[in-house]
Structure 1
Amino acid sequence: MADRELQGRARERAVLDRLVDAARQGHSDALVLRGEAGVGKSALLEAMVARLDGCQITRVTGIESEMELAYAGLHQLCRPFLDRIERLARPQHDALGTAFGLLTGPAPDRFLTGLAVLNLLSDAAAKQPVLCVVDDAQWLDLMSARILAFVARRLGAESVVMVFAVRDGEAHELTGLAELEIRGLDDADARTLLDSVLPGPVDPRVRDRIVAETRGNPLALLELPRAWTAAELADGLMTGTLASHIEESFVRRLEPLTADTRLLLLAAAAEPLGDATLLWRAAEHLGLGADPAAGAIESGLITFGRHIRFRHPLVRSASYRMATARERQAVHQALADATDPELDPDRRAWHRAQATSRPDEDVAAELERSAQRAQERGGFFAAAAFLERSAELTPEPGRRADRTLAAAAAKRSSGALDAALDLLNGVAGGPPDSLRAAEAEQLRGEIAFDQGHAREAARTLLNAAKRLDPHDPGKARVAYLEAMSAAIWASGPDAPGILAFAAAEAPPPAASDPPADLLLQAFALRLTHGYAAAAPHLIKALDQARQAQIDAANIGDWLWLTGNRASGIIAVEVWDFDTAHELALRQDRMARETGALVQLQFALNFRANLICLTGDLKAVAHLVEEDRDIAAATGNPSIGYGELLLEAFRGDEVTARELIGTTIRLATEHSQGRMAAFATYANAVLHNGLGRYEVARDAAMQVFEQDVLGYGVLVVGELAEAASRTGDTKLVETALAWLTERITATPTDWGRGIEARTRALLSADEDAYQQSIEHLGKTSLRVEIARAHLLYGEWLRREGRRVDAREQLRTAHQQFEEMGLEAFAERARHELLATGETVRKRRPDTLNDLTAQEAQIAGLARDGLTNPEIGAQLFISPRTVEWHLRKTFSKLGITSRRQLRRALDRSA
């Protein structure tokens, strides 16, 4: 590479050099080079690679035509290290092997796959630092982009550097990584670079215009003068985009080449792996000899070796786009013929599809089989692309519509909701079929729910259920349940009729009592006849849903039946925390295994809310962050309600109030009554922690009066506490009566604990306070346990029993601080001060300035977990775990794991 291509890039090269130097010292990092096409990102990467010694280099270039092939880019990056795959832990080994098609099995968990890649690179870097170079990352397939972003965010002490080059405004999966903005050269450097390629003296005004119009873009400065005369350059250079003009300059350099040479370059452009062996086999099928290769090399636009590389990605696109449709088809057919159908059936199917312009059932069926394999590996995005192309090539109209519907369903599962709706419009153009039309309407309703339009979803799903009933009563009942679930989410003071209407329309249960039927009947009874009448049916439905075996053929239905859309709501409604958590984990697992990203977002938020009640706010924060990551990757909004409760329990008033207010406003605008009610419940939690009981009471009462399924359980304790502190005895009596009815019908330790606590608040019964602590102590609800101690201690202090009060208040204060419930901890501290005890606020240097991750790793190591086990839990490599432990030992002044328990106890 000529030095002139790096004119004026000293700052950028220094940044890249520092990354590599740090890797040689045992550190890792990731960097995104971001800039417009031709600005010099690829040249910087090439220069970095050329200067390296003593490092292992693996590289991949995103190819636009490759974006539909799941894990294609990741496989190319990991290929040099796949001989180490047997050294991975079995779950990681199986996940990565399945993703790459080396093994058969269930769809791989994205996090296990990411952890496998992280550990594969870490293992390789134990010998020499590893540099991963990813050019044109905006054209990576979606699964590869997400996995590599996951790995990049978790690099620590592996001696691994990852550098991505992306175009402006693209590759949102990489958002949040450190970025280096690559911009055009300044005028002086731009003139120097331009002068190096101008064929002779040029009018200074022309030269200045070229510099100004190209905005210092190095590739434009180098290539445009080679293709256009100075007169052309001066006469309206930038009538289109800069990238289009650069590409056009390459087209002009390609035009003089012989037809066979251009055909060889076209084959290389259509073959994204850069596999020389495959290219030469395809060249044989095209009847090309040695002369075309010599002409291609002489052009300077491509180099041949073990891997084939174009001078710039725009050369690839120019080669491909300047070809005729017939030439492209011939090249793709040659590549399909050269591809082994056993080793790489999906790539062969894709080339066959690109080689075909007319309907062909054989090719369409092969694409459909590729879609099934992609879906089994969790590649819904790839499955949708295969199915969409399969539908285009299907001759029979009815089957074409069926495949289009399947493609739309796969798009929806991958999170591409707008694209799914576009495909659904095509389904309607097929021959009349009442079953297909009903299934399309059901999918439309599910998408409406995913987009946050719960009221529209309820009506659409209800109509779909009626249309499905004559064809498939089982599917119809699932659609009725989906409609009921959507109605529950839409419910609120502004939509009182939706739930009643949905409940009235629900069909009677079938004789076989499948889970969907039982859930549907339980919901309908709860909404029409009240809690007591519905309780036995709620419990039966919940038990059936928990024990039911998942049918892989109807995984989408199961994702609705579990979690916070159906049975999860019931679990909370009947005070069964353990089952609710089990169902949340099940929904999470199914969504990961199938790559159903929107469903995974709901599962993450449901889990977050439940875990909030256990006090593990760090775990909640991780779930909230993952929801955000998925939203950024898919372009859909985050679900977000897990973050509401997290901030409310943390007691960060400014952050929580802003989140709560924004959520209520948006939920009201979109008729999401359930979301507005949840935000209002979070408001009650926040203000009870802050000791602003009037605000807490009013917020809790607003939710309580709406009788929102599953939320009464959560808000009744907030209502009773706030009402008792504001002297509203009648409101406490109302809460107690409500609790008594439910605990009589569904007695659990959770419910009994809240009922006893409310009874104590009303009657000042010390036994009731103690019973509350006893019942809640049998659960994992650490937040409720701590609050029971706090309320008991507050009552004892008001009774003048300071010594007894201190014991309860100390317990509450310690538990709140350990969990990070700062507002509640401060409330307990003030109560302790009122007893005459001196209590300091927790200092920020607790645990000798350990970071959150260091404290977490130290705790897991103290509990006996090995470095690989800790890494698997926290999605980091064992080498990074060891690096953090060394720093932790230094901060704590210890030398071994055996000393951790005492050191952590001493520092707490």
Structure 2
Amino acid sequence: MDTANSGLIGRSSELERLSALAVGARNGHGASLLIRGEPGIGKTALLSAFSRAAHGARLLRADGYEAESEMPYATLQRIGRPLVAHLDSLLPTHSAALRIAAGVAEGAPPDRYLVGLGMLSLLAAAGEEEPITCLVDDAHLVDTESLEVLAFVARRLQAERVLLILSGRPDERMDVAAAGVPVLELGGLDTLMSARLLNRSAPALIDPLLATRIAEEVGGNPLALVELAHEFTLPQLTSSWVTPEPVPVGSRLESHYLQRITDLPPDSRLWLLVAAAESTGDIALISGAAAQLGIPSNASVAVEQAGLASVRDQVAFRHPLVRSVVYNAMPADDRQRVHDLLRVEADAVGRGDLAVWHAAAATTGSDEAVATRLERAADVAGERGGSASRARLLTRAAELTPEGPLRGARLLAAAESAAQAGAARLALTLIGRIDTRTLDPVSAGRVVQLETLVGLFIADRERILSGAADMLRAAELFSGAAPQLEQRALIRAFEVMLTAEWATQDVTLPQLGERLAAGVDVADGPMSIILRGLSAHILLPYQDAVPHMREALVTLAEMDDADVLESGSVAVALTMALWDERASVTLLERSLGVSRARGRLRDADTSLWLLGLIELVRGDPAASARYIEQIRELRRAIGYDAEQVVNAASLAWAGAANAHVELVADAARAVGFAGAWTIAMTGLSIRELADGHYRDAFERLRPMIERPFLQVTYQQLPEFVEAGVRSGNADRVRGSADTLAGFAAHAGTPWIRGLSARCAALLADDGHAEDLYVEAIAHLTESTVVADAGRAHLLYGEWLRRAKRRHDAREHLQRALLIFERCEAPAFAARARRELEATGLKTGADAPTSLHDLTPQESAVARLASTGHTNPEIGAALFISANTVDYHLRKVFRKLGVASRRQLSERFPRD
């Protein structure tokens, strides 16, 4: 780009940065940028200069409009309209999501992240034909759904011929949505450049000292500099310098605009008000409303001559500040009259979406007719996946609703939509505006339930600890009126208690179990069966609970896709109680697949997190780490700080210092996540076993065993037995071994049968231990719990070495070492090496294979490719485009020296 001829002063480095991004995009290195700056700082001028010189790319431009900010996917429609020819090349789910979001097809409301994947794929497909440059100015005015999709796309651009540039004012909503997008903070011009711009704009040369003073006063704001130079004479500017008063900028600049507006003829001022009220700049609506007011058609001429706005295909204000000053300076009665006329015009041309916005703006006090219309518009927005727009429209509808139950109902619906859109604190604010005295019991229960779920989302300690009791309170409010809601609330009470675990307040586990049992008969159906299984898990002896838990597990497996997304925590609890790790992974992977297919990234996040925990239970920290990396990648796509994704138990397996793990765990417990603390402590106890610190492990586990909590404690029993035997406390752990034997007899899965035999071997005399170790290895090898199989080989190898059967010991210790190295459990691998060396076999840590040279994303792509997934399928799973998948695969092939996916499958054996 030729920055010298751009016409801009003091922006050469910014133009060069944009030029470099454009060159990279043309060469297949997709990029994005958020240009952020205060009004008048030159964002639009920078984009215009760049677009004039951005040759060699197809230019798409769609600026934000306030009137469209309540219309879900309005900006996205304008960007996508020129690209419709490429829709058929997308995955059907992606093209369908885009069509439904655009309102041109019917179907279930698409999640905005699925729309984001569709838009990413659409731009990538168009980029295959020619490079794409997409510019969106005034992004702070873009509707929430479009903004979130554009930010999603911006974070995912990697190997596409696409450049996406957003530009807007500092705005909390925009900053949150665009988190993770590279930012160019556009500041004021330096003193030298400010003086140059001022002098270029002024009719006469300005003294450098005065120019410096003015530049400092306006902070180098280009618009303020230009306006000052045009409006004030040199004597006026000089006078401002010789007095202690600041130059007329900032709030004075608003007064300056007001003066210019006041100088207009009355008809032109009124025309300007109409234009300010119709922020999309729709010339037809503005002209129609102006005609109804009797404003002559040439009234806009004086406005253009004053430099306040231009009138072409649409009305464009000189600067957003002009519109703001015009609109807010006019009397409220005039504003309402103009909005009402614009409503009439919008209705007349079939623009109901604009008409309802103007109707609301024209209304003061309560107006049920307008409120009803807003509610209908909110429902339409919800059907198109616009949760944020629905929340805003319902909030305005509630404001126009007379006091009473309907007002509360609309506020509640708005709060639920806000929570669904991720605006948790807004949801709480809306709840706080509800007069709960006007609510019926079911609505009151929805309030309690929503407050609890939002409290979990924002990590409110009090709500986490009392969450189970609060959910039971919601269930009581639903009782007798909404049986499905009552049963769902009871199941959620169990899920919340899993989060707070032993720290739960206001309700005990047996009390919860009794309430769940009472909920079984509220209504027939899947939730009744699940409640029976959960209450049996809590209240009945294990052998009596097993059939009910199995029936609940079958029910979970048979649920439809919509319900399976709600069942993650329950599925984990029941499968772990039944020692059925295969079923656990199957259910969670199904939930993950459904959430990915529907673009529901927060549900995908939950499934990935639970899968990561299950892999730690299975003793495979490498597999757990892969899920953690997918969570990081997913959260980058959403816009969260991915580096904060930490699993304390994973840190323990990986060899982090105890103090570090305990610090992370204690932080989780401090906000009420006692379940996370327990998982971390269990991980530390396993690490202590690996390191041979048996007494430390015993003392860490003992208080948790003495304070049992359902299946959580079940998983600790094998560790407690090993720690007790090796620390000289065998008699104190025999009861735990007996409990495991009972589990094995009634659950009967290979996993629990192997663990029970392994613990029995530790306690057996030498005459019986060997058969039990062999039995344990056989069962655990049949299971998918890799580390427990490795630990059985390790314990048997240690027993054989002590029996002076070194050759036999080496065989099992080497198998254990291979398992621990593969699943990246360094502490157990080190223990296996020590034991091998004690047999006389010299070992050393194997050099890392070339697989370890891959980045986490390359590894994730390679593993999916090795199992036969296509590039589009991999892209959908990892929330990247097929182009980016291809880019990573080429690097993987080069690093590993392979030439085909078949060869890749040989390098990534299935677990």
TM-score bin, normalised by smaller chain: 0.7 to 0.9
Match of 2:88 in 1: 86
Q: Counterparts of 1:303-452 in structure 2 under 5 Å?
A: 303-305=310-312, 309-333=316-340, 336-337=343-344, 339=346, 346-395=353-402, 397-428=404-435, 431=438, 433-452=440-459
Partner of 1:107, secondary structure, is coil
Pairwise CA distance, 1:84? 1.6
Name the CA shift for 1:639/1:666 in 2 (closer, same or farther; >3 Å).
farther
Pairwise CA distance, 1:646? 3.6
Letter in 1 for 2:547: P
Match of 1:455 in 2: 465
Q: Counterparts of 1:114-263 in structure 2 under 5 Å?
A: 114-168=116-170, 170=172, 171-198=175-202, 207-226=211-230, 230=237, 236-237=245-246, 249-258=256-265, 260-261=267-268
Name the CA shift for 1:905/1:83 in 2 (closer, same or farther; >3 Å).
closer
TM-score w.r.t. structure 2 length?
Answer: 0.86
Partner of 2:59, secondary structure, is strand
Pairwise CA distance, 1:16? 1.3
Question: Which whole-Å CA distance do the structure 1 matches of 2:615 and 2:876 have between them?
Answer: 20
Task: Choose the corresponding residue for 2:770, options 766, 769, 774.
Answer: 766
Q: Deviations over 1:743-801 (max 9, x none)?
A: 33332233223223322333373343343343334444444444444444444444444
Name the CA shift for 1:468/1:303 in 2 (closer, same or farther; >3 Å).
same
Question: Which whole-Å CA distance do the structure 1 matches of 2:247 and 2:832 have between them?
Answer: 68
Match of 2:547 in 1: 536
Partner of 1:105, secondary structure, is coil
Name the CA shift for 1:125/1:545 in 2 (closer, same or farther; >3 Å).
closer
Pairwise CA distance, 1:857? 3.3
Pairwise CA distance, 1:19? 0.9
Partner of 2:134, secondary structure, is strand
Q: Counterparts of 1:436-835 in structure 2 under 5 Å?
A: 436-452=443-459, 453-492=463-502, 498-504=508-514, 508=518, 509-510=520-521, 512-548=523-559, 562-564=567-569, 566-584=570-588, 602-612=606-616, 613=618, 615-617=622-624, 619-625=626-632, 628-629=635-636, 643-649=647-653, 651-654=654-657, 658=660, 660-667=662-669, 669-688=670-689, 692-763=693-764, 765-835=769-839
Letter in 2 for 1:547: E
- 2:77 is the alignment partner of 1:75: yes
Question: Which whole-Å CA distance do the structure 2 matches of 1:455 and 1:598 have between them?
Answer: 22
Pairwise CA distance, 1:181? 3.3
Pairwise CA distance, 1:296? 4.2
Question: Which whole-Å CA distance do the structure 2 matches of 1:639 and 1:851 have between them?
Answer: 15
Name the CA shift for 1:94/1:205 in 2 (closer, same or farther; >3 Å).
same
Question: Which whole-Å CA distance do the structure 1 matches of 2:867 and 2:595 have between them?
Answer: 30
Letter in 1 for 2:106: T
Letter in 2 for 1:150: F
Name the CA shift for 1:112/1:451 in 2 (closer, same or farther; >3 Å).
closer
Name the CA shift for 1:202/1:857 in 2 (closer, same or farther; >3 Å).
closer
Name the CA shift for 1:289/1:15 in 2 (closer, same or farther; >3 Å).
same
Name the CA shift for 1:356/1:736 in 2 (closer, same or farther; >3 Å).
same
Match of 2:855 in 1: 851
Pairwise CA distance, 1:90? 0.8
Moved more, 675-684 or 840-849: 840-849
Extract unaligned runs of 5+ from structure 2: none
Alpha carbons 2:648, 2:664 under 8 Å: kept: no
Question: Which whole-Å CA distance do the structure 2 matches of 1:521 and 1:786 have between them?
Answer: 36
Q: Deviations over 1:44-64 (max 9, x none)?
A: 222211111121122333445
Q: Deviations over 1:245-304 (max 9, x none)?
A: 655554444443445545555555555656666666666676666424444443444445
Partner of 2:60, secondary structure, is strand
Alpha carbons 2:596, 2:877 under 8 Å: kept: no
Partner of 1:131, secondary structure, is strand
Pairwise CA distance, 1:99? 2.1
Partner of 2:88, secondary structure, is helix
Letter in 2 for 1:663: A
Question: Which whole-Å CA distance do the structure 2 matches of 1:201 and 1:89 have between them?
Answer: 62
Question: Which whole-Å CA distance do the structure 2 matches of 1:390 and 1:451 have between them?
Answer: 27
Alpha carbons 1:76, 1:273 under 8 Å: kept: no
Name the CA shift for 1:546/1:368 in 2 (closer, same or farther; >3 Å).
farther
Partner of 1:291, secondary structure, is coil
Alpha carbons 1:605, 1:642 under 8 Å: kept: no
RMSD of equivalent CA atoms? 4.0
Letter in 1 for 2:745: T
Pairwise CA distance, 1:427? 2.2
Name the CA shift for 1:672/1:874 in 2 (closer, same or farther; >3 Å).
closer
Letter in 2 for 1:711: V
Name the CA shift for 1:342/1:435 in 2 (closer, same or farther; >3 Å).
farther
Letter in 2 for 1:104: E
Pairwise CA distance, 1:348? 4.4
Q: Deviations over 1:46-104 (max 9, x none)?
A: 22111111211223334455444333333333332133212211111112222222222
Question: Which whole-Å CA distance do the structure 2 matches of 1:701 and 1:778 have between them?
Answer: 30
Question: Which whole-Å CA distance do the structure 2 matches of 1:793 and 1:310 have between them?
Answer: 81
Letter in 1 for 2:368: E
Task: Choose the corresponding residue for 2:62, options 60, 63, 76.
Answer: 60
Partner of 1:387, secondary structure, is helix
Partner of 2:716, secondary structure, is helix
Pairwise CA distance, 1:155? 1.8
Question: Which whole-Å CA distance do the structure 2 matches of 1:848 and 1:457 have between them?
Answer: 43
Over alpha carbons, which structure has the higher Rg?
2
Partner of 2:850, secondary structure, is coil
- 2:118 is the alignment partner of 1:113: no
Partner of 2:710, secondary structure, is coil
Count of matched residue positions in the alignment of Structure 1 and Structure 2: 891
Letter in 2 for 1:653: A
Extract unaligned runs of 5+ from structure 1: none
- 2:44 is the alignment partner of 1:42: yes
Q: Deviations over 1:221-266 (max 9, x none)?
A: 3334555753568655499xx8656555544444434455455555
Name the CA shift for 1:286/1:884 in 2 (closer, same or farther; >3 Å).
farther
Alpha carbons 1:108, 1:593 under 8 Å: kept: no
Pairwise CA distance, 1:510? 1.2
Name the CA shift for 1:383/1:809 in 2 (closer, same or farther; >3 Å).
farther
Question: Which whole-Å CA distance do the structure 1 matches of 2:598 and 2:902 have between them?
Answer: 42
TM-score w.r.t. structure 1 length?
Answer: 0.86
Question: Which whole-Å CA distance do the structure 2 matches of 1:559 and 1:97 have between them?
Answer: 24
Alpha carbons 2:74, 2:146 under 8 Å: kept: yes
Name the CA shift for 1:854/1:533 in 2 (closer, same or farther; >3 Å).
closer
Name the CA shift for 1:474/1:21 in 2 (closer, same or farther; >3 Å).
closer
